[in-house]
Amino acid sequence: MTMLPSYVPVIILVAIAVGFAVFTLVFSQILGRMRPTPAKLSTYECGMPPVGTARQRYSIKFYLVCMIFILFDVDVAFVYPWAQVLREAGSYGLWTMGTFIAVLAVADIYAWKVGALDW
């Protein structure tokens, strides 16, 4: 029973979030007018008619670029905490991160040279 008061702000925040979501959904249904048109009911609402089939296959290069992007995005997640503790890490931390960045640079140059980044 002693820990219950510490959860009161979290419970209030969850109640407000759920209440806002319910309020928004209910009043958008009540106040919003439903006027379906052929343009609104089409697959794409951007004004362009659909071209081709939905089963069209993507090029493998698309997936390669996605994987390379995720790889380098995760690597940035390692560099940011290192930058926060750079002074405490000293020269050892600097050399290890330099090696890490050098490996990334070699991987990036390799991906570029083999054409993985070309569309």
Query: Kindly report the CA angle at 27 between 26 and 28, in degrees rounded to 5?
Result: 95
Domains of the chain, CATH where assigned: 4-113 (1.20.58.1610)
Q: What is the pTM of this model?
A: 0.46
- Give the Cα separation of 30 and 46 in Å (integer): 26
Tokens 């959860």 map to which residue?
7
Share of the chain above pLDDT 90, in %: 19
**What digits encode the pLDDT tens for the residues 3-45?**
778 889 999 999 999 999 999 999 998 888 788 887 677 666 5
- Give the Cα separation of 37 and 34 in Å (integer): 10
